[in-house]
Structure 1
């Protein structure tokens, strides 16, 4: 994987420095407004169509916009679209587009651009991770420069929600032709408020103000820098020293200390992020549902919330978190070591077994989680080797593994948020058999005909009571089968310098910086 763009660092920043010098020379001797945002994960790409990581799309939104977006309450708002009509049969969406918009490279944004971008993700030869988000699209037509018509293969109620997802970004067709399907990941060209400057993968992603931005008056800062900082304490220290203006997530255990600073503001907000233990149900011993249930009983979720999240989390209340449409509230699996041992004995493992536990993340909170789980399962005889995977390791060993039968993943700590705000995206990517990795995120390789049928029928029904019943059936069946044990739903905990405003964490863990400003 490439480490940077093709131009040397010194040249990349030359244009920024010259621009600021010109401001001073013209009598506008104002200080440049720079904002630094520190995040706990490394973006693995800058192609919004080829990631399933929420924090990655938070970064790509710096450069890209879609036809629609979600606000802080996950309500759909227009961006590059101005409105739409849908046919009575629910198959044809006619979308009106904003006019006078340019991509960073000067290319016009219009219906042909929308068609070009969506046709790219619909081409299975491109093997983009977000294909399944759009695979119900039959065709895309440019009616005229300001009108695009999208025809679906079957009714799909959450379609506009899918277009509002941060992955549904508009990329310059000129840039796509220039850089190609792979290298566009390192050369983002969108219509967003910031123009790409550079990406040093372990250090920073940088952007500068796009002077041709269609939304006049924005952005309100000159440059923006995203810094991936995996170590929690370092992220907190950067806030205290002024090296960062914003940090997410902040170490839960340091929240009270940071609150005492008169220069910082700590913000805890509700989330729809649930953390799971996922099992590879194709492999022993996790093919046995009693083993999976035993592990559910063996982990003290109340204690986990305190130990790893300093109380800024609570035991998960079901397969789909509250706050997501059609979520069914369920009692957490209680902590019961005796019950766990009984189930293991019934499954043929009275003395436990040895296995591996991987974490999808290598930040310090996740390391605390897998160490806690390791200690908990040792009490019932399950001896775990634990490893927090780096981005490249996760991609190689889990996300892109082609053959389910040989997948090396066994027990896996991961998380999910339904970033479209409704139950389909909380269930289908994780539990439908069509979503087996590498297509989507069913790295449990779970298949249940009742679940598959319920999810599929819920997508096409227009009867709300029927949809609610179908999603309830799916969630109850998943709870019985437990291909994933829900652990906790966490709060989003962020902090920012009081000089910074207009940045907040959304319920799905994405970050909105549309109104970013510094004093």
Structure 2
């Protein structure tokens, strides 16, 4: 990252014309991937951050994974069968696979990992993803049976999520909680070093089970919070991959023949949550007013340079069981009228936090500040650093004293279906510190619909249940759904085998560089 730049240097940097002197140019066979921030851990079971799991996938694999279209594919599991009632799953595992520490991958290793996340004393972030598991039985070194407490439609999708990685049981015993700093998996790269705020580095795993991979000697993930800096690193050859890119520089970067620019649809939705336990956001009319006060089309243009469009509901299109709905119309007059009816004819003051410090997020909250100000809502904005986000929002112990009010955030349903786009964000069980219901929203009918959908094995019934649930949230308005963004990233011309998935995760398993 740049140090002590003058205003003129910052201008050149934003334009991609100033070289960044923070790191040497990428060497052949040693690609550098510039990303928007640092992982908070290298334990895939203890994060809710897509960026973190993108990094941990260098070292870890699960029974299943997703392809670039979020379709489930076999990885460490060769196949599975499920009982007609959806309660019992039997897995055939891949044989001949080794962990980085030479431990053999087998059914006992899978059981050890699931037992760990299911132990509530471990307080792992992904506990709720797996807590419907009743028993785990090792049938043989290459076969495993999992019985659920109740049918759980998204179970295989949950196992395909990057957080469902299989960690070496030997390493788990050796490192305990410090496994967060010593990843040992079956993935294409072994762990070399993690210099926090600077880089995470992996080296080629010589005994990797997929023949011919990995195709590079090392991989380096470099956190670069400033959009313009990531773009500049691409142009100077100091990075081979950058995501996300500054939307406003897309056209300029496209003209660089040394780069390949990619634009793809995403399932990343940006939203503004409102703490419904606190005044004035406990009043539906205030929440409705905030929805009417925001011009989503303009937000897409101002903060995302047109690489986004108004959200079409609570769960974005492209996610299974997403229910398409019309965005809230932009109507500031209606917003002012609703505020008057709620007793806030002169508006009110509030705080607006962003979950991110990226320049795009800064633009977004500045735009929201301006829009809300036009209807009399005066907000102070703050982009939270990772530590602040964890302490002030994600781990707030008491809902009554939680400091969050208006919160700009985003989510992608990384399991590819609607449950993970609704339950972690809006269910009563998902209030922090358990999950991410930063609105502290609670609706018994909504919760019941989700619970019924989870145990249903009928596809049409699940679609209907999820549609009703999404309509309830839109009516109750604990959020202002804002935009669904597009994934914009770039690679150097020499790089291949890296792509950004619809949920914003990054797949680098087939990364290669032309010599």
- TM bucket (normalised to shorter chain) is over 0.9
- Counterpart position of 2:333: 338
- Counterpart position of 1:414: 409
1:32 is displaced (CA, Å) by 5.1
- Counterpart position of 2:381: 386
- Counterpart position of 1:166: 162
Q: What are the Cα deviations for residues 242-287 of structure 1, in whole angstroms up to 9, with x where unaligned?
A: 0000000000000000000010011000000000001111111111
- Counterpart position of 1:17: none
1:149 is displaced (CA, Å) by 0.9
Quick check: 1:257 aligned with 2:252?
yes
- Counterpart position of 2:143: 147
Quick check: 1:40 aligned with 2:36?
yes
- Counterpart position of 2:58: 62
Q: What are the Cα deviations for residues 116-137 of structure 1, in whole angstroms up to 9, with x where unaligned?
A: 0000000011011100000100
**Which of 198, 203, 207 lines up with 1:203 in the alignment?**
198
Quick check: 1:99 aligned with 2:100?
no
Q: What are the Cα deviations for residues 127-166 of structure 1, in whole angstroms up to 9, with x where unaligned?
A: 1110000010011111110011111000111100000000
- Counterpart position of 1:120: 116
> In the aligned structure 1, how far is the partner of 2:34 from the partner of 2:498?
12
Q: Would the aligned equivalents of 2:28 and 2:513 in 1 still touch at CA under 8 Å?
A: no
Quick check: 1:317 aligned with 2:312?
yes
C-alpha RMSD over aligned residues: 0.8
Quick check: 1:78 aligned with 2:78?
no
1:41 is displaced (CA, Å) by 2.1
Q: What are the Cα deviations for residues 151-210 of structure 1, in whole angstroms up to 9, with x where unaligned?
A: 100011110000000000000111111111x21111111000000011111010100001
> In the aligned structure 1, how far is the partner of 2:109 from the partner of 2:459?
35
Task: Find the residue that maps to 2:324 and give its secondary structure.
Answer: coil
Task: Find the residue that maps to 1:270 and give its secondary structure.
Answer: strand
> In the aligned structure 2, how far is the partner of 1:481 from the partner of 1:368?
27
Q: What are the Cα deviations for residues 49-87 of structure 1, in whole angstroms up to 9, with x where unaligned?
A: 011111110000000000000001111000000000111
Task: Find the residue that maps to 2:448 and give its secondary structure.
Answer: helix
> In the aligned structure 1, how far is the partner of 2:160 from the partner of 2:460?
25
- Counterpart position of 2:438: 443
> In the aligned structure 1, how far is the partner of 2:393 from the partner of 2:208?
39
- Counterpart position of 1:226: 221
- Counterpart position of 1:468: 463
Question: Which shifted more, 454-463 or 252-261?
Answer: 454-463
- Counterpart position of 2:453: 458
1:404 is displaced (CA, Å) by 1.0
Question: Which shifted more, 259-268 or 437-446?
Answer: 437-446
> In the aligned structure 1, how far is the partner of 2:273 from the partner of 2:97?
44
Quick check: 1:134 aligned with 2:134?
no
What residue ranges of structure 1 are gaps of 5+ in the alignment? 1-30
> In the aligned structure 1, how far is the partner of 2:443 from the partner of 2:257?
54
- Counterpart position of 2:360: 365
Q: What are the Cα deviations for residues 314-346 of structure 1, in whole angstroms up to 9, with x where unaligned?
A: 000011111111111111111111011011111
Quick check: 1:157 aligned with 2:119?
no
Alignment of 1:274-289 (within 5 A): 274-289=269-284
> In the aligned structure 1, how far is the partner of 2:459 from the partner of 2:195?
47
Task: Find the residue that maps to 1:90 and give its secondary structure.
Answer: coil
Task: Find the residue that maps to 1:272 and give its secondary structure.
Answer: strand
Task: Find the residue that maps to 1:491 and give its secondary structure.
Answer: strand
> In the aligned structure 2, how far is the partner of 1:101 from the partner of 1:139?
24
1:465 is displaced (CA, Å) by 2.3
- Counterpart position of 2:105: 109
- Counterpart position of 1:4: none
> In the aligned structure 1, how far is the partner of 2:512 from the partner of 2:388?
36
Alignment of 1:490-509 (within 5 A): 490-509=485-504
1:402 is displaced (CA, Å) by 1.4
Question: TM (normalized to structure 2)?
Answer: 0.94
> In the aligned structure 2, how far is the partner of 1:265 from the partner of 1:354?
45
- Counterpart position of 2:509: 514
> In the aligned structure 1, how far is the partner of 2:373 from the partner of 2:54?
37
1:463 is displaced (CA, Å) by 2.1
1:485 is displaced (CA, Å) by 1.1
> In the aligned structure 1, how far is the partner of 2:361 from the partner of 2:333?
27
- Counterpart position of 1:480: 475
> In the aligned structure 2, how far is the partner of 1:202 from the partner of 1:285?
38
What residue ranges of structure 2 are gaps of 5+ in the alignment? 1-26
> In the aligned structure 2, how far is the partner of 1:348 from the partner of 1:130?
42
Q: Would the aligned equivalents of 2:86 and 2:457 in 1 still touch at CA under 8 Å?
A: no
Task: Find the residue that maps to 2:266 and give its secondary structure.
Answer: coil
Task: Find the residue that maps to 1:320 and give its secondary structure.
Answer: coil
Question: TM (normalized to structure 1)?
Answer: 0.93
